[in-house]
Each structure stands twice: as C-alpha cells, then as structure tokens.
Chains A and B, each alone.
Chain A
Amino acid sequence: MNAIPSQIGRSSGGAQPPVAVECRDVWKIFGPAPQAALAAIRKDKLGKAEVLVRHNAVVGVAGATFAVRRGEIFCIMGLSGSGKSTLVRHINGLIEPTAGEILIEGEDIGRKSAGELRQLRAQRIGMVFQSFALLPHRSVLDNAAFGLELRGLARADRERRAMRVLEQVKLAEWADRFPDELSGGMQQRVGLARALAGDPEILLMDEPFGALDPLIRRQLQDQFLELSRGLSKTTIFITHDLDEAIRLGSRIAIMRDGEIVQTGTPSEIVRKPADAYVADFVSGLSRLKLLRAGDIMRALPAAATNGIAVDWPRAGIDSDLDRLVDLAAESEHPIVVVSLEGTPVGLVDKRALLRGIQGRAPDG
C-alpha cells in the first residue's frame, strides 16, 4: 500500500495508562498428565492432533501472552473451541493454568491462597456469562445484589447499591420480578448489573451477547459502550463475532486452536491481517465503517495541489468509507482529502474507493 498516515481513530498517543491485566505464556492442557503433555509439546513440537493421540490430552490454551491497560476494552475473538472462554477463566482463577503467569495489577494470582483468590473475585473482578447464569429462585434485585451478599454486606446497604446498578442498566422497575419473567436481553442486563454492583476494577465478559438475537445484541452493545465510557473499567470481552469485536474493542486478540495469532487495534487487524486465517475473517467484514479516507487515499505531493478545482468534493482524513461513497455518488470528480488543519493531503478517486471497499490497494 501507499504511505498511509498510521493510527487514525481510536488509539491515541501520549503516556499510556498502566497495565491492569497481563497473561504471560499461559498454557492450559486438559488430560490425565498435563505437565507431561506440555513438556512433550515444548520439546518435540507436537501438534494438537498428536498430543491428543499420544497423551490423551486436549490443548485449551497454548502460550497466550497479552497485556491489557487500565480502562481498555480488550476483545478476544475466536471461533467456538478456540480456547477463548478457557483463557478468560484464568484471569479470575476459575481455571488454573498448566504453565504461565497471570498478573492482576502486577500481582501473580497463582501465588494467592484460596481465600485471597475469593477476595479478588468478590471485590475486584466482575464476570458476565453467555448463559446468564442467574439464580432462578431469587428476584432480579437479589440477583444483582448476589456478589455483595457473598461479601457480607448488610441487606439495606447491598440493596441500595444493587438498585443503583439496576437503574444504570434500566431495569429498576423490574427489581421484584424473577429471572424467568424477563426476556434474554433483560436477563443479561441483570447479569451485567450483578457484575457491576460490586464496583470491580476489571470486567470479564464471556460472550455476553452471544445467545441473543442480532437486534437485541446491537442494542446491548450500544448500551454497554455508553455505560463503559462512563465507568472506564478494564474490560476483557470474549466474542465469536468480529463485527462486535471491532465495534467494542480498543484492541483485539484473535485466537485459533488455543493460540493468539494476532493482537492489534481494529484497523491494524483489518488492514494487516497476520495470516490467511485472520484475512479470511476480515474478508467477511463491512469496511464502510472501519477504513478511513486516510487509509485508501493516494497521497498528494504538496506541489500538486494546484491541479485541484474548487468544486471538487472535500472530506476530512478520518471520514469513513460510508461518507466517501456519499460524496462520490454526488460528483464526477475525485474526492480531495484534507488534513485536520484543512490542507489537501490526498485524493480518492472512484477506483481507489471501490478497491477500498473490496479491501485491496487502489492499484491491486
């Protein structure tokens, strides 16, 4: 591709916030002798199928390494069976790794006692499940207050706080109902309220919207985005839906067969897929909202600006393709891309635009 101004959009420069959650070379192997299987994988470079045959072991997570900064929404994306749900359960210690370290604010959770781990889960990490996992015998309010109740808060106190989060997820008037009286989307909002009630620093979302129909899913994504902007919690969000990952994620890790094959911002993943697998995913994606004018324009040498007529359409460098298509439909001329300061920096002609929608370089 051409010389493209990098990192337009969500990632900002300057001092980065500190790391909140870190996984260092985490392995999880299920089977009768996981350590032996891991040793064999490391020594003999066995593949997944061979490990299953020779050690009767299944590789859940294979050497996952990543770091999530405070306030980030970090999406882990992969198909079912790729190990993403297994990986996220390591972060609150529901699953113990076969090898590797998980650090929360720099503390290795593998060194914590059972009691300390419970403390960590109760106070600092909230979790939302794909299956909602609400308690059917408790009212919505009691479900939302469940984590606080486990911590031993007095009834009045925990109900006040639970009511507050129910208001945040717009379910306050349903507080006295029971889960089976609610729709799936509402049940998951109760799940979200339960996770938020304890005001944790970290949210683990295990395919929270995966079981909902597309329209409800979209509504909940919007609601969640709005909510998380106000709360700025470190969020690890598991999904099998790339569109969802791109809408929500500040960064995305793509998993396949237990391995993280690529980590990057949404635009990095779309523009530079690390391998054919990722490229295949990305090819099914609508680029209209994702690529920006700066990504597809032909850069204009400063000297060439004279050739531009005044009646040519103009667009900002961070306009999305949707906007460019609108402009191109109204005019015969190429679109002039202007920088944030208003100076022309490039041109997008119809050919570049169409290629951009295809996801290819203008000359490709």
Chain B
Amino acid sequence: MAEHTLASTSSQRWLDPAAALIGPIAAGAHELWALMAATAFLELTGLVLMGQAFWPQLEGADPRGSWLGGLLLIVLSRLGLGLLLPPLRHSAARRRGLRASAAADGSVRSRAAGAALLLGFVYALSLMRFVLPEPPALLMRFPTDPGIANAVASWIDLAVGGLVDHGRGFFNAITVGLRSALNFVETVFVRTPWPATAVVVLLTAWRLAGLRTTIFAAASLAYMGLLGLWEPSLATLALVAVSVLICVGIGIPAGIATAKSPRLRRLLEPVLDVMQTLPTFVYLIPAVALFSIGKPPGVIATVIFALPSMIRLTDLGIRQVPGNVREAANAFGATPWQLLWKVELPLAMHSIRLGVNQTIMMSLSMVVVAALIGAGGLGEGVMKALQFLKTGQGFIVGFAIVLCAMVLDRLVRGREGGGDRK
C-alpha cells in the first residue's frame, strides 16, 4: 500500500516520492491539514488554468488559461509537498508523542479516504465553475429568494413596532427617569460656577492620584476653558458619569452572579458578545423609536456597548481569587456574604477597577455616535466640524475628548501606577 511505503521510507529520505505522487491526500492522511489546504489550492489553480486552456471556448471570447503555467504550478506544488511532508510529519509525531505511534495503519488509510473524498468534491465543483464557459447557475450564486430577507426584516419591524406601542409606558418611564437623572447631573456639572468645579476636580485629583495628575488635570481644564469648550465638556462628562454609574450598578452584581454560576455565564456569554460587536448604528434606530431622541437613548446605547466589559472584568476578577485563600476563609467559618465582602471583592478590586476604567473609555468613545441622535456635548462639535469640513475645529474638540479620557483614566487608576501602597 502507498501508506505503507510512506511510513517506511519517509523517515530516511529528504524527498517523499509517494507523497509527491498522490499529492494533498498524503498530507491529509497524516493530519497535516494546513499543508493539505495549501497544496490543494495551488494544484486546483493549476488544474483550472489547464482546463481553461483546453476546454472549447465561446465564439469570439478572449483565450483563457495557460496549460504550461498550470502544469508548472501542479508540478511545483507536488514537489513542495514531497519535500515538506517528511520533516513536518516528524515534528508533528514528536508533538503528539505516544498518540502518533499508537495510530494504526487503518486510521491513516481512513483519513486518506476522507481526504480524497473532500478533495474530489471541492475539485469537481471548482473545475465546473471556472472551466465551463457557462457553468450551472446553482454554482454561481447561493440559491435564495429576496423575499426571505424582506420577511425577516418586516417581522423585526413588527416586533419593535409592537414593543413601541405596548411598552410605551415602560419605556417612557425609563426615558423620563434617565432624563431627570441626566438633567440633575448636568446641572450640577455645568451650572456650578466654573472656579468651584475646577477646585473640586483638582482636589479630587490631588487626593486620588497625586501631584502629577493634578497638574495634568489643571492643564486640561485650562484647555477646555480657553477654547470655549467648558460647557460641552462638562455636559459630555455628565453623560459619561450617568452611563458609567448604570454600568457599574448593573455590571458588578451581574459579574458576581456569573462568577458564581457557570451556567448563567454560559447563558449570558452570547448576549454579551452581541452587545459588544453589534454595530451601534443598528440599535440606534430602535433606540430612538423606544426612547425618543436626545440624551436618554444616547445613554442606553452607551450602556449596551460598555456594560459587557464591566461584567466580564468583574467575573474574571472574582474567579481569579486563589482557591487556597477562599478555602482559608471557609476554614475560619466565613458565611457566603463574608466570603464575598471580605475576601473575593477586595481581591477582585484590581480587575473591577480596570472594568470601570474600560467602561469610562468606551463611554467616551460613544460620545460622537450619541451626538447623532442629539445627545449634545463635545460629540456635537465633532459632528458639526465633519458636516462643514472644518479640520481645525474638529481637532480642537477631538482633543478635548482625549483629555477628558486621560484625566478620568488617571483618576480611576489612582496611585496604583505610582508604586504607593494601595
């Protein structure tokens, strides 16, 4: 058998003639899938080129393919396979250790058969598609009906419409609640006389993060004030503050819950993936329908985007608490609450703080998107600069957003980076 000669000769020779002869199937037989895919791709390209050269063409069409180029490609890929297979097999066998030596002749043979079947399928269809002058329509395009997409879309429209109609009271309540919270925070941030705000910010920076950050915060405040961005900056910070508070308020308990329950984590995982990766503009449309325009839907969109990080980092922090410390707490009679408050949360604090930081950064990155639906603040400045193509104005406002992010980052991290005791 071919496999047999392979096995006996490949270890000594630098070129495996049997492999060169049977091609990608040999690679498949030895579980070298990447090698099989690469050589099969080259070989198939060569076959298509040759096929196009030989196949009768339509009247008046340009000549296609090149049998010489195709042949060269096939020969080269076979030669490469023959050269690469012995060393790759060797290192793969060493990596697998015992398992490889236990692999019987039979499994090599059945893998070879599987590889042959797979390659035959791909080769046949691909050759039909590229060589035939008029390939069957089924191969040209995935068979579907535009009606399917339309039906699904209108079904989603209907569902959201139903939600808007029937949940009006519920969503209005959320909108009103969010709006009044935002108004309150914004009033505090924006209407407070600017020297008072500045003193509070600088004192906080001094307490939390030391002199260097205080100087940096002072410079940032000066930048915002001098360039006329004081009010929009603080309006943006109000939006960020409310979003982050909501994220922390939901995210930390949810993260604790997923850390304690693997089942809940498995259930929530895909939901969090969707929240993080679904393009924001997709859910901005229904958000406006449900929460009208302005700041509330901006907060909702921001929370959807930033909440998963908070949940994930809290979950990670709690699960990273060393088992022996948890056991020690149990050995001294800790109740589940005591375990959480006195051991797990303090030890997860680093990770949780990272989560808060992430949430702030993600909220700030949503500022411009939120401005699209009328959330105002610095994002509005960026939008206007974009509309009227004002490069300088755009940079001025954009830089204010960067400074907000950096100051908040240093404040939340506190002295952690500075080497002082926690």
Contact = CB atoms under 8 A, between A and B. Distances in A.
A150 B327 contact: no
Interface in A205-262: none
Nearest to A146: B332
Contacts of B328: 127, 129, 133-134
Interface string A86-97: 000000101000
Contact of A121 (B331, B347, B422): B331
A118 B337 CA distance: 13
A125 to B, nearest CB: 8
B332 A194 contact: yes
B330 A121 contact: yes
Interface in B211-231: none
A359 interface: no
A137 interface: yes
A135 interface: yes
Given A137-B347, A150-B338, A178-B421, A121 B332 contact: yes
A192 B148 CA distance: 71
Contacts of A122: 332-333
B332 A127 contact: yes
Interface string B21-42: 0000000000000000000000
A11 interface: no
Contacts, number: 61
B347 A118 contact: no
Interface in B317-331: 322, 324-325, 327-331
B335 interface: yes
A129 B333 contact: no
Contacts of A194: 332
A133 B332 contact: no
A149 B324 contact: no
B331 A118 contact: no
B332 A131 contact: no
B330 A150 contact: no
B133 interface: no
A146 B330 CA distance: 11
Given A146-B332, A147-B332, A133 B346 contact: no
B334 A94 contact: no
A118 B335 contact: yes
A360 interface: no
Interface string A130-144: 010111110000000
Given A129-B324, A178-B421, A137 B330 contact: no
Given A129-B328, A150-B338, A178-B421, A135 B333 contact: no
Interface of B: 322, 324-325, 327-335, 338, 342-343, 346-347, 349, 421-422
Given A133-B324, A135-B325, A150-B338, A92 B331 contact: yes
Please provide the 8 A-B residue pairs with the shortest distance between their CB atoms, ordered closest to farther.
Answer: A122-B333, A133-B328, A121-B333, A147-B332, A118-B333, A133-B324, A127-B331, A131-B324
B327 A137 contact: no
Given A129-B328, A133-B325, A150 B342 contact: yes
Interface residues of A, number: 27
B333 A147 contact: yes
Nearest to A191: B328
Contacts of B324: 129, 131, 133
Interface string A182-213: 00000000000010001000001000000000
11 contacts: A121-B332, A121-B333, A126-B332, A129-B324, A129-B327, A134-B325, A137-B347, A137-B422, A150-B329, A150-B335, A150-B342
A355 interface: no
A94 B332 contact: no
A118 B329 CA distance: 10
B331 A94 contact: yes
A150 B334 contact: yes
A234 B25 CA distance: 70
Interface of A: 92, 94, 118-123, 125-127, 129, 131, 133-137, 146-147, 149-151, 178, 194, 198, 204
Given A135-B347, A150-B334, 9 more contacts: A118-B333, A118-B334, A121-B330, A121-B331, A122-B333, A129-B331, A137-B349, A146-B332, A146-B342
Nearest to B343: A135
A219 B164 CA distance: 75
B422 A119 contact: no
Contacts of A204: 331
Contacts of A151: 333
Contacts of B327: 94, 129, 133
Contact of A150 (B325, B333, B346, B421): B333
Contacts of A150: 329, 332-335, 338, 342
A266 B346 CA distance: 45
Contacts of A135: 325, 342-343, 346-347
Most chain A beta carbons < 10 A, residue from B325, B333, B421 = B333
B330 A94 contact: yes
Contacts of A149: 342
A210 to B, nearest CB: 13
A118 B422 CA distance: 31
A204 B334 CA distance: 17
Nearest to A114: B335
A136 to B, nearest CB: 7
Contacts of A92: 331
A134 B328 CA distance: 8
B13 to A, nearest CB: 41
Contacts of A119: 333
B8 to A, nearest CB: 35
A73 B114 CA distance: 66
A146 B338 CA distance: 11
Contacts of B333: 118-123, 147, 150-151
A133 B332 CA distance: 12
A127 B342 CA distance: 18
Contacts of A126: 332
Contacts of B342: 135, 146, 149-150
A118 B331 CA distance: 8
Nearest to B346: A137
A136 B332 CA distance: 17
A146 B324 CA distance: 15
B317 to A, nearest CB: 13
A127 B324 CA distance: 12
Contacts of A94: 327, 330-331
Contacts of B334: 118, 150
Contacts of B346: 135, 137
Contacts of A137: 346-347, 349, 422
